[in-house]
Amino acid sequence: MGFSYVAAVAILLSSSLIFFGMVYGEFVQSNSQVSSAQNKMNQENYDLLNSKVNITGYYVVPGTTYNITINMTNTGSITLNLDTSSLLVNGTMVNAVPSSNYLFPLGNGSITFHSTSAGIKAVELIFNTGYEKFTKVNV
């Protein structure tokens, strides 16, 4: 005798249910991760689009090294974290001291850095939202 038709259908059905149960669980988990990543990307894009800073001026204090302070105003609608921002001078990352930890919308702030040489410096401020502001400083 052989296998009965009912037994074969029962085995196939139970195997299919187990398979689809495993696939569904993985689908739900991966769909949740994709949704979370999409929400994070949307928030980062919103922050970047609503970030804007105007450089209002700078001043240089000469000495054994030049202390350069750049003044700025946040004209965007996002609070910028100056502690996690980066400062590049002529393409090289330098240490900078912000006037406060945060630059609130419509708020004024400054960032100070040191230079050992005189001349024109290309300065790039990169904020925590990904927004970049370029300026030139004549030391």
| Domain definitions of the chain by residue range | 1-49, 52-138
The pLDDT value given to residue 50: 94
The pLDDT value given to residue 1: 55
Burial of 93 (0-12, 13-18, 19+ CB in 10 A): exposed
Percentages helix, strand, coil for the chain, rounded to the nearest 5? 35, 40, 25
The pLDDT value given to residue 2: 65
**Domain 52-138's class?**
mainly beta
From first to last of the 139 residues of the chain, give the pLDDT tens digit: 566 778 888 888 888 888 888 888 888 889 999 999 999 999 999 999 999 999 999 999 988 899 999 999 999 999 999 999 999 999 999 999 999 999 999 999 999 999 998 899 999 999 999 999 999 999 8
Q: Cα torsion at 114, 120, 125, 130 (round to 10°)?
A: -140
The pLDDT value given to residue 11: 85
